[in-house]
Structure formats: C-alpha cells, structure tokens
Amino acid sequence: MTNVWTGSRRRGSALIEVLLAAMLLATLMGLTITVGTSSRRAYRSGTLSTSLQGRMSFVANRITTELMAASTDSIQAVSTAPQWDPTITFERIESVDTATGAVTWTTDRIGVEYATGETNDGTDENENGLIDDCVVVLVRDVGTANEQRVVLCTGVGEYLEGEAFNGADDNGNVLRDEQGLCFERRGDALVVRISLQGMTDTDELMELTHETSIWVRNGSAP
Ligand SMILES: [Ca+2]
Ligand SMILES: [Ca+2]
Ligand SMILES: [Ca+2]
C-alpha cells in the first residue's frame, strides 16, 4: 500500500519528518498495561517462573513495539470478542521519499504456529518436554522477495492457559478455544495474550499467562 502526501520539494526533508512523526502518533498511542499474570498451579521452582515471566515480558514488549508502527486500519481489523485472531497482519511504513513525500508501505505479520518438528497430535515430537508446543513468529515484508521470518518466542502453549479445544470458554475470558497467542479488539484497545510453558526440575508442567493492552487512538493520518 502506498500513500502519497501532498507537498513540495522546498519544504524539504524536515517537513516530511514532522509529518511522519505526526502520522505515527495518530495511529497508536503507545500505552500498554499488563493487566494480569497468573499461574495455573503453584510450584516451588521460582527460577522457572522468573524465566517464563521474563520471556513473556520480552515478547509482549516486542509485539507492542512492532505494532506501534502499524497503521490504524491494520489494528482495527482485528476481531472482537468472542472472536479472536492467532495472527495479526499489519501495514508498516517502510520508507519515505524525501523528494516527493511518497510513503511506501510494507506488510508484516506476527502470529503463532507449531514449533519446528511439532504437530497437533498430543505428543512431544520435538522432545523438548512440551506437547504440541508453539512459537511466536514475526514475518517481515510478507509476500515479497525480502520476506524474513524471526522466531520471537518458543515454548508457547497450543492453547491459552486453562483453555481446551471444545467449543467452550474454559478459562472464563469470553474467548472460546483461543490459542496460546491471541489478539482481540476491545473498544479502543488491542488485547494481546500469551501463555508460556516450561518443565520444572521435577518434570511438572508450569504455565504462565501475560496479558497486555495496547490503546489505539482514534484519529486519521494527516
Ligand atoms: Ca506434537
Ligand atoms: Ca477462553
Ligand atoms: Ca475451550
């Protein structure tokens, strides 16, 4: 998608930079709030818990940072409860022609998929101790020759903590059968939830969940 701003060369690159900054401010307000972290079970292994929480915070911050550069339309296309999306595809400004003011957009995607070697078969095929575990993947420049895939996080649950594939909302968050990473629009907020899993030193499963809200500012680009 390409958008061309009106303007003249005499305004120079400084004006373009100002417009670009204003446009980004109009799309998303970068306020995120972590509204909950929970544990399905209590375990003595504080080290694993600390590790999982650190990784969840990292990936949540990374997703937030990526979406800060997304167009408003991309965010507003996300499903609202009880629907949800395991993937978000968004337009991002790739470059601005300083001579003409033409803005070139590119498409990125963040989503959850099964880990390498793992399928939905109820067994631990990749032998990492987790059953049907998933990863969060960022794909840059989707559908182009420059397309790149980056794994942002491993050990993601197949379903969000407390959820099972049965058509019902098992964990009481309104969403049904939501996956271990899911996106939901709620009014002016984009809610991102992720559940990470790990095995304790006594071979018990630990699962933690992180929920982040990104507040979307209503407004249009200049
Ligand atoms: Ca499997
Ligand atoms: Ca649910
Ligand atoms: Ca369910």
Residue pLDDT, tens place only, 117-137: 999 999 999 999 999 999 999
Ligand closest to CA 164: 3
Ligand 3 geometric centre to CA of 192 (Å):
18
Establish if 171 belongs to a structural domain.
yes
Establish if 177 belongs to a structural domain.
yes
User: What's this model's pTM, rounded to 2 decimal places?
Assistant: 0.79
Give the environment of ion ligand 1: residues with CB less than 5 A.
118, 121, 123, 125, 132
Give me Rg for the CA atoms of the chain: 20
| Angle subtended at Cα 198 by Cα 195 and Cα 201, rounded to the nearest 5 degrees | 155
Establish if 21 belongs to a structural domain.
no
In terms of Cα–Cα distance, which of 135, 132, 178 is closest to 155? Answer: 135
Residue 42: both structure tokens together? 């209590």
Establish if 13 belongs to a structural domain.
no
SS3 141: coil
Establish if 1 belongs to a structural domain.
no
Establish if 145 belongs to a structural domain.
yes
Ligand 2 geometric centre to CA of 139 (Å):
26
| Mean pLDDT (the chain, rounded) | 83
The pLDDT of residue 39 is 52
Give pLDDT tens digits for 98-118: 999 999 999 999 999 999 999
* Number of other residues whose CB lies within 10 A of the CB of residue 146: 10
Which secondary structure element, helix H or strand E, spans residue 156, and what is its range?
A: strand 148-156
- Domain region containing 92: 31-215
Check whether 162 has a pLDDT greater than 70.
yes
Average pLDDT over residues 191-195: 95
Ligand 3 geometric centre to CA of 164 (Å):
4
Establish if 17 belongs to a structural domain.
no
Q: How many structural domains comprise the chain?
A: 1
Residue 215 or residue 184, greater confidence: 184
Establish if 114 belongs to a structural domain.
yes
Check whether 177 has a pLDDT greater than 60.
yes
